[in-house]
Amino acid sequence: MPHSDPPPPGDRYSELIAREAEHWGRVTQDPTNPQLWDDPVLYARVLRGPYEHLLERAVATGGPALELGCGDGDLALALARRGLEATGLDLSPVRIERARDEAKRAGLEARAHYEVADLNAAELPRERYGCVVAHDALHHILNVEPLLDRARAALRPGGTLLVSDFIGAGWLEKLVSAGVVAVLPTIQPYASKWRLRGRLRALLASERDKRASLETDSARHLHDASPFESITQGSIVPAIAARFAIVERFTFCPYWYHAVPKLRLPAPLKRALIASAQAIDRPLNRRGLTRGSYVYLEARRRD
């Protein structure tokens, strides 16, 4: 299993983390490359359930809550609306500013707080929080083991860690999904897809491949715009299990589901395709015969 190492010394790490922050500060919905979360019906069918479950479990802890990688602050703000004090940390100053503005518009700036922080190195207060939440964040963290150590120390005795995150897929599943998008008609035209062929190496790269690229000063296995994209995948769950007592865990959203929104099909057909797949996939998943590309996990601090 790959382990998180200290950030690369000197200018290389600084350049990569600055590029990561810039990427997330300017990322917007791309109508030519739709995602599951862009279609409200697909989102509700595939992703909303685990997200709502995470929110409910966070509220049940009573807080205060710390969110790692808060983005535009939606989750922390949702917790504040439910009465919790919530603090969100994110690498992007642009997104933190948007989060603060939204909290102010909602009249919740007294309960929803946001700070810019590089989670690969940020210090966290000790025994401050009832829960620490990470939603789609840990797979961007280079130093996930030290971060989890600090998150454990930031929890009060008996505190809860809640994670919903991407854990990747095998190279064959990735290759088949990429082939489907490349060959079948999609919303993105063939000429545009051809221009993106250079990203295939980064898409198929394992966590070990990506980390090797950092060690060798090579960028060939890294996403060009988001160099820390999926830098941590399969090691997320083992790293948590080594530090916390896991009380609930399940996977969801098989990797190939991400190809469906991109297909040039009427929206009802896309939704029917996912619904039919879930009728087969969910029983197999419950029996441990398949797994999704995302994991939901609730864990307790060991005292």
- From its phi and psi, is residue 118 left (phi > 0), alpha (psi between -120 and 50) or beta? beta
Position 103: which residue type? Answer: A
Rounded distance between C-alpha atoms, residue 162 and residue 248, angstroms:
10
Cα separations (Å) of 198 from 29, 116, 192?
21, 32, 12
Decide: 122 and 144 in contact? Cβ < 8 Å.
no
Q: Residue 255: which residues within 8 A CB-CB, separation 6 or more?
A: 168, 169, 173, 174, 177, 292, 293
Q: Give the residue extent of every domain in the chain.
A: 11-301
Closest CA to 27 of 91, 117, 118, 78: 91
Q: 71: which 2 tokens?
A: 């983005």
Q: Please count the helices (runs of H) and the strands (runs of E) in the chain.
A: 12, 7
* 3 state DSSP class of 71: coil
Amino acid at 91: L
Could you read off the pLDDT tens digit of each residue along the chain, which spans 303 residues?
Answer: 334 444 544 578 888 899 999 999 988 878 888 999 999 999 999 999 999 999 999 999 998 999 999 999 999 999 999 999 999 999 999 999 999 999 999 999 999 999 999 999 999 999 999 999 999 999 999 999 999 999 999 999 999 999 999 998 888 888 889 888 989 999 999 998 888 887 888 888 888 888 888 777 667 788 878 889 989 998 999 999 999 999 999 999 999 999 999 999 999 999 999 999 999 988 888 888 788 999 999 999 987
**Residue 263 DSSP code:** B
Angle among Cα 259, 265, 270 to the nearest 5 degrees reads 60
**Which CATH number describes the domain made up of 11-301?**
3.40.50.150
- State how far the Cα of 207 lies from the Cα of 2, in Å rounded to an integer: 7
Say if CB 193 and CB 186 are below 8 A apart: yes
- Global pTM reads 0.90
Q: Tokens for 254, please give them.
A: 């098989």
**Distance between CA atoms of 66 and 27, rounded to whole angstroms?**
24
